[in-house]
């Protein structure tokens, strides 16, 4: 056997052993999401394998410089191929696959390009450097290209990045569906082309030296190849600049081409966001800044902030890379948020305003618990009905958490469901600020040293906080249900089949939006059968049946599944079940019972008002329930029949029923940005209704809306 082949065989065995150790390490030490053959597993294998592959290629090319480079690279790829296949085999043996073909697709799409690019960069190092400098070349190029790949995610709106070492990094957000689209393929090709160009220039440099030493002119072929590669270099630079320019702030501002100012805040939006919506947002920004200053008096509100308001979550995902989360980048002074998520504006503003107290490079606290807790601390309540203190007390009383200490580190924060982490960290931050003052909390935000700032350990402060919560206060059955709803959840990193379920639900959404409701139902059903915690999949099944006018089927889906009696089902689906029972049978008694449960277990103030308003007007015999539900579920278009509400002002009826009509009407106007109409109707209510005569729960809903409407009236100068 030739010496070169013996050498490459030994290297192949060593590489296979290394990749095997990487695979075992991920399986043993990784969370369930990272162990299964899918996106995360593939990215980790590519990342940990990229440097050894580059190292091996550099060493082997340098040792065989006298041979044709293509033959050398071919032998390298033959050696590497079995090594990168081994993690697939190990994963399939020890970890049950959730989605075999898509998992292998992720693996091939990420690991193969990473490996090829690594060998090309390694070949360049082997051709360009002496044996002594080769190691420095390999490490230097790997580190430099790694950090350069992260730069777009740091300086641009996007949170995602592309790197040849890891493929695609989505940022620290947890959308359950990840698709490697054309941008990824373009980036992969760009890295390969750049590595190939480096090899070409290294080879041409050697050839020029050889011609010069021989005192010969290079042949015409030499100049033609140089011209072609020079053209490719220029093209790659131009297209690379265009590629990253597409994701720049300038390009976002071409899409969001309207703007206005609120003090030091510049709001960028598109033409669909206008009129009263702009006035309300102006007011909300001023009010949010005032509320933040009330909690953190030393915060500087004269920092320049750019707020980008996207018309849809799809547009947010296109430019930023997240479908659900709003994104704050304190180091850039930017916020990215979809219109439907503007309720999180104050939270995100805190992250940006606390920039002077944060640490490089993200200018936030290195404690995730302090970063998110500081933003939660400015909120008067968590969901419009309950405070973070209330929910934290329940979490501790029912042993869903033992204290705050584990959540102050990133690993503890991320390994728990977001609701638990955010609620507990917000309550603890409020305690520190109320007990010891905001100045000390700001010092802690920077230093993370509890002993230095408070003279007490985190464990001691944890115990003090728990004593203030009065865990011994008895909980009602409703409290227990709500606690289970909030805290019986798992972190995404513990959901092994997250990517498969996310893909199924995404495909179901696409089928539903394309009006293929039968196909959508089957996809939702498959997703729900594999993960019964996915209420969105269950709701998708029901709505698919609604669109087919199969209301009895919808009732059966909700009623026959025992999981409907679990907290997640009772909180999320009670009103939907009531609606379906009426549409299927016209039974108002069962509908009322389900709405009573929806009111009792409402997860937020909007759902509470919606359920209560509907329950109140069910007492009106004139109310056309069927017509209203046809509107609600999109069976008669998107315009609410005005006649359903006109008699609320003209007919005699109990005060509570009239309030129910106006509450639903107010929510309807809010969703359509018709704030003036909502204000005028609500302000007319006292002519008919004395709030002091209302029952406690109706008065509670009345007061919630009253505060909201007064805010709109002040924003629109309608008082």
Over residues 79-116, the pLDDT tens digits come to 899 999 999 999 999 999 888 999 999 999 999 999 99
For residue 3, the model assigns a pLDDT of 46
pLDDT for res 640: 62
Q: What is the pLDDT of residue 13?
A: 87
Give the integer Cα–Cα distance in Å for 427 and 241. Answer: 46
User: Hey, what are 102's tokens?
Assistant: 């898509």
Which secondary structure element, helix H or strand E, spans residue 161, and what is its range? strand 161-163
Helix (H, G, I), strand (E, B) or coil at 138: helix
Region 236-250: mean pLDDT is: 67
Whether residue 376 is predicted with pLDDT greater than 70 in this model: the reply is yes
Asked if residue 712 has pLDDT above 60, the reply is yes
Residue 227 has pLDDT above 50, yes or no: yes
pLDDT band at 304 (very low <50, low <70, confident <90, very high): very high
Q: What is the pLDDT of residue 691?
A: 87
212, pLDDT greater than 70 = no
The string of pLDDT tens digits covering residues 143-178 is: 999 999 999 899 999 999 999 999 999 988 778 888
- pLDDT, greater one: 403 or 211: 403
pLDDT in tens, 507-522: 999 999 999 999 999 9
**Is residue 416 pLDDT above 90, yes or no?**
no
What integer best gives the mean pLDDT of the chain?
A: 89
Residues 544-561, mean pLDDT to the nearest whole number = 92
Position 562 confidence tier, pLDDT thresholds 50, 70, 90:
confident
Cis status, amide bond into 585, omega within 30 of 0: no
Top mean-pLDDT range of 395-409, 563-577, 626-640: 395-409
pLDDT of residue 559: 87
pLDDT at position 219 is 72
In terms of DSSP bridges, do strands 334-338 and 305-310 run parallel, antiparallel, or are they unpaired? parallel
Instruction: Answer for the pair 125, 141: CB distance below 8 angstroms, yes or no.
Output: yes
Check residue 196 and give its pLDDT.
87
pLDDT the model gives residue 1: 43
Taking a C-beta distance cutoff of 8 angstroms, is the pair 61, 126 a contact?
yes
The pLDDT-based confidence of 69 (bands split at 50, 70, 90) is: confident
Residue 351 has pLDDT above 90, yes or no: yes
User: In this structure, are residues 453 and 440 in contact, taking their beta carbons and an 8 Å threshold?
Assistant: yes
What gap in Å lies between CA 140 and CA 307, rounded to an integer?
38
DSSP assignment letter at 603: S
pTM here is 0.91
């Amino acid at each position: 056997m030739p010496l070169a082949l013996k050498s490459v065989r030994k290297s192949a065995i060593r590489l296979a052993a290394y990749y095997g150790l990487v695979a075992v390490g991920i399986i043993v030490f990784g969370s369930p999401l990272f162990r299964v053959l899918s996106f995360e597993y593939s990215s980790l294998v590519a990342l940990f394998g990229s440097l050894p592959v580059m190292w091996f290629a550099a060493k082997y090319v340098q040792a065989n410089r006298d041979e044709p480079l293509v033959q050398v690279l071919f032998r390298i790829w033959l050696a590497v191929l079995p090594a990168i296949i081994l993690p697939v085999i190990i994963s399939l043996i020890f970890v049950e696959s959730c989605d075999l073909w898509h998992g292998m697709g992720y693996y091939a799409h990420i690991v193969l390009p990473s490996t090829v690019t690594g060998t090309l960069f390694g070949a360049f190092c082997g051709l360009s450097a002496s044996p002594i400098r080769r190691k420095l070349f390999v490490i230097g190029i790997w580190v430099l290209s790694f950090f350069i790949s992260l730069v777009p995610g740091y300086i641009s709106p996007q949170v995602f990045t592309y790197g040849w070492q890891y493929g695609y990094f989505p940022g620290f957000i947890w959308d359950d569906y990840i698709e490697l689209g054309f941008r990824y393929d373009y980036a992969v090709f760009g890295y390969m082309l750049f590595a190939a160009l480096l090899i070409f220039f290294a080879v041409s440099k050697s050839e020029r030296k050889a011609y010069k030493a021989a005192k010969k002119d290079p042949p015409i072929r030499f100049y033609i190849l140089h011209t072609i590669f020079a053209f490719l270099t220029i093209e790659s630079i131009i297209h690379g600049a265009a590629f990253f320019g597409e994701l720049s702030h300038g390009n976002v501002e071409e899409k969001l081409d309207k703007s206005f100012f609120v003090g030091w805040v510049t709001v960028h939006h598109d033409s669909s966001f206008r009129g009263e919506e702009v006035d309300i947002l102006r007011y909300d920004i001023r009010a949010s800044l005032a509320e933040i200053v009330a909690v953190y008096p030393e915060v500087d509100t004269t920092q320049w902030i750019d707020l980008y308001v996207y018309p849809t979550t799809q547009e947010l995902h296109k430019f930023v890379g997240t479908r659900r989360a709003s994104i704050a980048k304190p180091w850039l002074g930017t916020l990215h948020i979809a219109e439907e998520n503007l309720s999180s504006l104050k939270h995100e503003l805190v992250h940006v305003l606390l920039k002077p107290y944060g640490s490089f490079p993200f200018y936030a606290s290195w404690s995730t618990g302090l970063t998110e807790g500081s933003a939660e601390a400015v909120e008067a309540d968590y969901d419009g009905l309950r405070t973070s203190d209330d929910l934290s007390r329940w979490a501790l009383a029912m042993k869903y958490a033992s204290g705050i200490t584990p959540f102050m580190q990133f690993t503890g924060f991320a390994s728990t469901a977001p609701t638990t982490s955010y609620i507990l960290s917000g309550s603890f931050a409020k305690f520190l600020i109320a007990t010891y003052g905001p100045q000390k909390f700001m010092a802690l935000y920077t230093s993370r040293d509890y002993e230095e700032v408070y003279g007490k350990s985190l464990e001691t402060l944890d115990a003090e906080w728990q004593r203030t919560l009065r865990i011994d206060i008895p909980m009602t059955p409703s409290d227990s249900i709500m606690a289970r709803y909030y805290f019986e959840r798992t972190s995404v990193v513990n959901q092994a089949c997250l990517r498969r379920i996310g893909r199924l639900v995404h495909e179901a959404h696409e089928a539903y939006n394309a009006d293929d409701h039968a196909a959508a139902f089957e996809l939702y059903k498959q997703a729900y059968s594999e993960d019964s915690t996915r209420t969105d999949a269950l709701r998708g099944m029901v709505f698919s049946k609604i669109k087919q006018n199969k209301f009895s089927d919808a009732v059966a889906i909700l009623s026959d599944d025992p999981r409907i009696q679990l907290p997640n089902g009772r909180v999320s689906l009670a009103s939907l079940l009531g609606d379906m029972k009426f549409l299927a049978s016209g039974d108002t008694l069962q509908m009322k019972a389900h709405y009573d449960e929806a009111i009792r277990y409402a997860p937020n103030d909007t759902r509470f008002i919606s359920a209560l308003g509907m329950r109140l007007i069910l007492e009106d015999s004139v109310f056309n329930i069927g017509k209203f539900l046809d509107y609600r579920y999109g069976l008669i278009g998107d315009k609410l029949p005005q006649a359903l509400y006109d008699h609320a002002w003209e007919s005699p009826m109990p005060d509570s029923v009239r309030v129910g009509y106006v509450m639903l009407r107010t929510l309807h106007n809010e969703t359509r940005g018709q704030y003036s109409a909502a204000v005028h109707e609500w302000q007319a209510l006292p002519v008919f209704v004395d709030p002091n005569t209302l029952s406690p729960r109706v008065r509670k809903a009345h007061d919630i809306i009253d505060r909201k409407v007064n805010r709109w009236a002040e924003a629109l100068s309608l008082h």
